[in-house]
Structure 1
Amino acid sequence: MAEIQNCPSCGEFFNFTGVRDVCYKCAQKEEEMYQIVYRFLRKRENRAATMERIVEATGVEQELLYKWVRKNRLHPAIFPNLGYPCDNCGRITNKGKLCEKCQGELKSDLRTFEAAKEFRDNVANRERGTYLSEKK
């Protein structure tokens, strides 16, 4: 179901349906800017351009480039120097929400937590163990 929200770009009200996060006018402007960036990147000599170079050459905001890479409109496999900030540390990544380093740290923390939980469960089971009484 749609709800009325303010456009984060221009402040106008628009019907938010979950498809676009900006109003129709701003979405059209973003699409025009996307076409400019895409035409720039389609040239062979610009395919390896960095984010800074793309911003400088096209005038498009870096946040829009991040948004397009995150939504897979610009593919890092084709344009290798594109990416977006990791949600945890801000380091540039090109897949998922976390960079490789943060993923590794999270996996390590989870393994440590699981090992500690298993240890606590074993200790609790031993303390709850069966006590045998002497037979007479």
Structure 2
Amino acid sequence: MNLDNCPRCGRLYLKNLMGICQVCVRELEQQYETCVKYLRENRGITIQELSDATEISIKEITRFIREGRISIANAPNMMYPCEVCGMLIREGHMCDSCRTRLRKDLTSVTKESALEKESKKDQRGAYKAIDKSRD
């Protein structure tokens, strides 16, 4: 059998696509419904206000938004934190400054890697030339 412990509550459950037990699935659905109902009644609120009013963590609300279950298109003040620095954003996982920094870091690592490969090629060529001259 495919049994596992629920990562949220620790109960033993039969594995499913959600990766959590049925009790936690029902709890998440109830939290989602609470969020949606409160958002319909209060369109101009922030994520912090929603969390305070519904007693649902910002992390869970953010997950609902990222999964596409809660639309923030009609909620102008609804933003969630960047996964890297915590700055409030409306789309994606990172803010523009973190995304730019990540691209810059990846570019520099790629260049360094290319330079290392090039220097190793040069060193191998020099060793081959020495070895050939010895024979």
Regarding TM over 0.5, the answer is yes
SS at match of 1:64: helix
Q: Which amino acid aligns with 2:55?
A: G
* Aligned residue pair count: 125
- Residues 38-53 of structure 1 correspond to what in structure 2 (within 5 A)? 38-43=36-41, 46-53=42-49
The CA distance in 2 between the partners of 1:91 and 1:16, in whole Å, is 35
Residue 132 of structure 1 corresponds to none
Q: What displacement does 1:125 show? A: 7.1
1:1-136 → structure 2 map (5 Å cutoff): 3-17=2-16, 19-43=17-41, 46-80=42-76, 81-86=78-83, 88-119=84-115
TM-score with structure 1 setting the length: 0.70
Q: TM-score, normalised by structure 2?
A: 0.70
Unaligned runs of 5+ in 1: 130-136
Structure 2 residue identity aligned to 1:66: T
Higher helix share: 2
The answer to whether the Cα contact below 8 Å between 1:70 and 1:84 also exists between their aligned partners in 2 is no
- In structure 1, how many angstroms separate the alpha carbons of the residues matched to 2:8 and 2:113? 47
Paired-residue identity, % = 23
> Partner of 2:98: helix, strand, or coil?
helix
1:70-111 CA distances to partner (integer Å, 9 max, x unpaired)?
21211233334132441x333343433333222100111222
> CA-atom RMSD, angstroms?
2.8
Which runs of no fewer than 5 residues in structure 2 stay unpaired? 127-135
- Per-residue CA deviations over 1:46-81 (Å, capped at 9, x if unaligned) read 222112211222222222212211212112333341
